[in-house]
């Protein structure tokens, strides 16, 4: 039976998951357009402006609701797992368990799919609730591996979009939903599932890692 604390925690995590799905829906709508139609693109651009504005409101309201619940109940969103050494006995046990599940790679489309565990460079992490958790865990893992290289992401011009959008910064005011990873570096969390995957691939390129250095396990497979 789910206790009250778990129920509240599940609701808090669902807020984040819903936000990620809404971002994915925005991408879906844009990709489904007939881009040769000027009228359709113009109408979609106006839709995107309104949609993003409402998403910002949803994000702000969700954060305020989560804060209010946390302050009143003392319950907060579960933190992502602590870093486990690859030689740790528990790590080996978790990997053995996950090896029974269906693995997924960074080359797949993860729209509307929920992760629950990853293995990165033979380090396993379970108890993940959404793509924000996955991304945060990967960033922390790589920052522990080489903090200086991770901090260099904020000054890497190749990681800035054509629209001059930053995803790594030393000034959290430069991004919409900032998550502090090191004492110097914040990362953008205002991303859809597939956007998170793109950012992971970019970081892997900087760290000279391959796509198969990360294995992803989905909640849908576990619950099937």
* In a shared domain, residues 69 and 155: no
Same domain, 64 and 109: no
The predicted-structure confidence for 131-179, as pLDDT tens digits, reads as follows 999 999 999 999 999 999 999 999 999 999 888 899 999 999 999 899 9
- Residue 83, in any domain of the structure: no
Q: Does the pLDDT of residue 15 top 90, yes or no?
A: no
- Of the two residues 87 and 130, the one the predictor is more confident about is 130
Distances (CA, A) of 204 to 107, 114, 170, 197: 13, 21, 20, 10
Average pLDDT over residues 21-49: 87
Q: Is residue 82 in a domain? A: no
Does the pLDDT at position 9 exceed 90? no
Of 73, 99, 121, the residue at which a domain comes to its end is 73
Q: Is the pLDDT of residue 6 over 80?
A: no
Same domain, 100 and 18: no
For residue 200 the two structure tokens come to: 């992971």
Q: What is the mean pLDDT of residues 94-120?
A: 92
- pLDDT at res. 138: 96
In a domain, 204, yes or no: yes
Among candidate residues 125, 151, 129, 153, the one with its CA nearest the CA of residue 137: 125
Q: Are 105 and 188 part of one and the same domain?
A: yes
Assess if residue 80 is contained within a domain: no
Q: Which helix (H) or strand (E) holds 156?
A: none
- Residue-level pLDDT at 1: 42
Check: CB of residue 171 under 8 Å from CB of residue 187: no
Q: Which two structure tokens, joined as six digits, stand for 214? A: 């990360």
What is the average pLDDT score of the chain?
A: 88
Please check whether residues 24 and 49 belong to one and the same domain.
yes
Name the residue with higher pLDDT: 9 or 176.
176
In total, how many domains does the chain have? 2
pLDDT at 32: 84
Sign of torsion over alpha carbons 19, 23, 26, 32: negative
Strands 123-126 and 214-218: unpaired
Is the same domain home to 95 and 159? yes
- Pair (68, 115) in one structural domain: no
Examine the domain organization and report whether 174 and 118 are in the same domain: yes
> Which of 175, 218, 223 has its CA nearest to residue 197?
218
* pTM of this structure: 0.82
10 and 69 inside one domain: yes
Based on the domain organization, do 58 and 10 belong to the same domain? yes
In a domain, 81, yes or no: no
What residue numbers bound the domain in which 10 lies? Answer: 4-73
| Residue 210 confidence (pLDDT) | 96
Which residue has 């914040």 as its token pair?
186
Question: pLDDT higher for 217 or 86?
Answer: 217
> Are residue 108 and residue 146 in the same domain, yes or no?
yes
Question: Within 10 A of 22 (CB to CB), how many other CB atoms are there?
Answer: 15
User: What DSSP state is assigned to residue 192?
Assistant: -
Whole-number percent of the chain with pLDDT over 70? 91
More confident residue, 185 or 16: 185
In a domain, 202, yes or no: yes
Residue with the bigger pLDDT between 111 and 6: it is 111
Does residue 2 register a pLDDT over 60? Answer: no
């Amino acid at each position: 039976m789910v206790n009250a604390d778990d129920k509240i925690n599940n609701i808090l995590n669902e807020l984040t998951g819903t936000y990620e799905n809404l971002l994915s829906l925005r991408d879906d709508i844009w990709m489904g357009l007939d881009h040769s139609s000027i009228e359709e693109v113009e109408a979609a651009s106006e839709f995107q402006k309104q949609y993003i504005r409402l998403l910002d409101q949803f994000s702000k309201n969700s954060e305020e609701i989560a804060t209010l619940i946390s302050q009143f109940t003392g319950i907060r969103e579960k933190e992502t797992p602590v870093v486990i050494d690859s030689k740790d006995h528990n790590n080996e046990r978790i990997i053995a368990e996950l090896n029974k599940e269906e693995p997924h790679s960074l080359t797949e489309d993860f729209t509307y799919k929920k992760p629950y565990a990853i293995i990165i460079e033979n380090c396993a992490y379970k108890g993940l609730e959404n793509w924000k958790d996955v991304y945060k865990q990967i960033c922390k893992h790589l920052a522990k591996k080489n903090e200086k290289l991770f901090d260099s992401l904020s000054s890497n011009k190749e990681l800035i979009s054509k629209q001059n959008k930053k995803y790594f910064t030393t000034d959290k005011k430069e991004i919409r939903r900032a998550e502090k990873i090191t004492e110097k570096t914040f990362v953008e969390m205002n991303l859809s599932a597939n956007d998170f995957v793109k950012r992971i691939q970019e970081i892997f390129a900087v760290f000279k890692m391959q796509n198969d250095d990360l294995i992803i396990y989905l909640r849908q497979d576990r619950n099937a």
